[in-house]
A and B are shown apart, each in its own frame.
Chain A
Amino acid sequence: MTGEVIAFWALSAMLVVSAFAVVLSPNLFHAVLWLALALTGTAGIFLLLDAEFLAAVQLLLYAGGIITIVVFAIVVTERLVGERITQTNRRIGAAAGVSLLLLGLIVNTLWNQPLATVKASMSSADLTKDVGESVLTRFVLPFELLALLMLVAMLSAIYFARPEE
């Protein structure tokens, strides 16, 4: 139990620090690398929540896939290499105010609710097996729709980014 507590606070600190670095880093490349750290930390949080399969999906799709295509997009669109341009606009104060207000509102609501403090017992020990079974039985239609969505997204991404004739 203490191991879980230590891991939770360590991962939380890492996540918050890297999230701040993502939004505040003046260099966009550094921001992407910090985002990779934040997404990996999220995989750690999933492990704490006994979701090993989701942690693996998170690492493969996000930390692997998304980071790669974001780096490609930066390379393609960066014209002013090495030139320092301001990455943030003039609304920093208002943005910080709105974000803090929203955070305060959510946290205030959260801690005034009777929420579960212990994890419910799962029906079986192997969660990955359960997820796999329900994806191919009860949720087979959404699963197929998702496959279609991925195909459409892939085709349209290729169409948008095709070379100019």
Chain B
Amino acid sequence: MGLAHYLTLAATLFCIGLFGVVTRRNTIGILLGIELMMNAVNINLVAFARFSGSVPGMVFTVFTICVTVAEAALGLAIVILLFRVRRTVSADHLDLLKG
């Protein structure tokens, strides 16, 4: 299995996640798509680190995983707050900034 195989797998997952982000109506569904995309990025980082034999690459992946977890926790907190204010989590109805 070469590096290109892993990168192709990651690219496929990223594009499926992108599709989910664009098509989902529910805000939580959009966040699930974002999780898929970040997961694909992590696969990319680990594959590059392993194939070039670099330890700092692996350390960088530890950092990115932690940052994505912080992002997910905050994103879901914002969704809950949105629901409390607007009583909906459908992205179609969250158009307060639309002129």
Contacts and interface: CB of A to CB of B under 8 A. Distances in A.
Interface in A84-130: 85-89, 91-92, 94-96, 98-100, 102-103, 106-107, 110-111, 113, 115-123, 127, 130
B62 A54 contact: yes
B83 A76 contact: yes
B59 interface: yes
A122 to B, nearest CB: 5
A45 B56 contact: no
Interface residues of B, number: 68
Contacts of A149: 66-67, 70
B46 A54 contact: yes
A111 B4 contact: yes
Interface in B63-94: 63, 65-67, 69-74, 76-81, 83-84, 87, 89, 92
A70 B31 contact: yes
A156 B71 CA distance: 11
Contact of A23 (B20, B28, B66): B20
Given A38-B39, A45-B6, A153 B50 contact: no
Given A51-B58, A62-B69, 12 more contacts: A12-B9, A15-B13, A22-B32, A23-B29, A23-B32, A49-B50, A51-B50, A69-B76, A106-B7, A119-B51, A139-B56, A160-B78
14 contacts: A16-B13, A23-B29, A23-B36, A39-B39, A45-B43, A49-B47, A51-B61, A54-B42, A91-B22, A102-B15, A107-B8, A115-B51, A120-B52, A131-B55
